[in-house]
Chains A and B, each alone.
Chain A
Amino acid sequence: MAERIRLEKTIVTENDRLAAALAERFDDAGLLVVNLMSSPGAGKTSLLEQTARRLTGQLRMAAVDGDLATDRDARRIAEAGMPCRQINTGGGCHLNGRQVAEAVEAYDLAELDILFIENVGNLVCPASFDLGEHRRVVVSSTPEGDDKPVKYPVAFRSADCVVLNKIDLVEATDFSPASFSGFVRDVKPGVPLLELSCKTGEGLGAWLDWLRTQREAVRCRAAPSPE
């Protein structure tokens, strides 16, 4: 006799469990953890280089960087002044909780203000893998076109901040900043959108302010009340 067993159970993956453990570890250490996602070449590494050059000495920062191969990005970030551990995923198209847990062993998290996780360049899979981060940043760039938010809605929907890089190239492309911001608003109403250029430095101040604000928000939440 056939019978239907109703379950309606949300699937919890092994990565969800690892991410929850990472989130607890990050909260205990009291630092801000930012997961950066973008398509290849949008400027995640450039953004971290500029961040390192401008905030080193003010905030204690480190990074882990995911790529299929080479340690080129980690070297660039380290040369700019931010310690960075490279994770090579082989063929893997995204970082997972296990890789991040292993990579952060290199750091004393309680001695850091911000840890950046630079994900593998890919706007699809990284969005589905929580890494225990406090904030997600999606980086897009003008040569990619202004309709990326609606073509990759899962990533943009999950963003706490959208960075539009290479704004200095807008004249050389058909990119419409107004269309882009409209598409961002369609997918994630109210999300901060920061237009900047890692090349010229334009707009980087707003990015650094956003980081400082998020750092403070996480620190306030973590610190026991003085009363």
Chain B
Amino acid sequence: MHEIALAHAVWGQVTAEMEKHSDRCLKQVHVVVGALSGADPESLEFALGLLVAESEWPHAGIDVRQEPVVLVCRGCGRTYPMDEMRLTCPACGGADVEPVRGMELRLESLEVE
């Protein structure tokens, strides 16, 4: 439901970047949405599509990819993908774990011509 606000933030970054490449045409935007970021990829793609259509590059494509959560166990050092919503370490059962990927919303790259 808040993906429209997120889309505006993403688009602000895209346009700021394109100002540095004002002689180029935007062809594709690649965004990564962490599985625990709280944003829904489909809704974000839809909202970004609305902004692109209104922009000076109305034919640019939008690619929003969901990134799985990857955790690291501080106990045994193992790095592992999160299995469903279980965060504890599958190797040692440790609870002192930290997500290393999958928490954030990221503008990954732009394709320009």
Report if A and B associate in a common complex.
Answer: yes
For the complex, what is the distance from the CA of A5 to the CA of B5, rounded to whole Å?
24
* Cβ contact within 8 Å between A10 and B113: no
B39 lies within 8 A of A128 (CB): yes
* Contact partners of A9 in chain B: CB under 8 A: 13, 106-107
Are the CB atoms of B108 and A157 closer together than 8 Å? Answer: no
Q: Does A14 contact B (CB under 8 A)?
A: yes
Contacts of B106 in A (CB 8 A): 8-11
* Given A2-B111, A5-B21, also A187-B13 (CB < 8 A): no
Among B1, B6, B96, B104, max chain A CB count under 10 A is at: B1
The chain B residue sitting closest to A94, CB to CB, is B2
Assess whether A40 is interfacial by the CB under 8 Å rule.
no
Residues 73-106 of B, flagged 1 when their CB comes within 8 A of A and 0 if not, give 0000000000011111000000111000000111
Chain A 197-213 near chain B by CB (<8 Å), digits 1 or 0: 00000000000000000
Q: How far is the CA of A190 from the CA of B113 in the complex (A)?
A: 50
Q: Are A3 and B112 in contact, CB atoms less than 8 angstroms apart? A: yes
CB distance from A124 to the nearest CB of B (A): 7
| B108–A6 CB distance below 8 A | yes
Restricting to B32-80, which residues have a CB under 8 Å from any CB of A? 36-39
Question: B107 to A185, Cβ gap below 8 A?
Answer: no
**Total number of A residues with any Cβ neighbor in B under 8 Å:** 34
Within 8 Å CB of A185, what residues of B? 88, 95
Nearest A-chain residue to B14, judged by Cβ:
A7
- B104's nearest neighbour on chain A, judged by CB, is A10
Q: Which of B9, B10, B38 contacts A154 (CB 8 A)?
A: B38
Say whether A41 faces chain B, with CB atoms less than 8 Å apart: no
Q: Tell me which residues across on chain B come within 8 A of A1, comparing CB atoms.
A: 113
B111 contacts across to A, CB distance below 8 A: 2-5
> Assuming the A-B contacts A128-B39, A153-B85, A189-B96, are A7 and B110 also in contact, with contact meaning beta carbons closer than 8 angstroms in the complex?
yes
**Cα separation A187 to B36 with both chains bound (whole Å):** 11
Once the chains bind, are B9 and A93 in contact (CB under 8 Å)?
no
User: How far apart are the CA atoms of A7 and B10 in the complex, in Å?
Assistant: 12
Contact A11 B10 (CB under 8 A): yes
- CA–CA, A108 and B6, complex, Å: 32
Given A7-B13, A127-B38, A128-B2; 8 other pairs, CB 8 A cutoff:
A4-B109, A8-B106, A13-B9, A15-B5, A150-B84, A157-B36, A186-B86, A189-B96
Seen from chain B, the residues whose Cβ lies within 8 Å of a Cβ on chain A are 1-2, 5-6, 8-10, 13, 17, 21, 24, 27, 36-39, 84-88, 95-97, 104-113
A-B contact pairs, 16 of them (CB 8 A): A3-B113, A5-B109, A5-B112, A6-B109, A7-B107, A7-B110, A8-B106, A10-B105, A10-B106, A13-B5, A14-B8, A93-B1, A124-B1, A125-B2, A185-B88, A187-B85
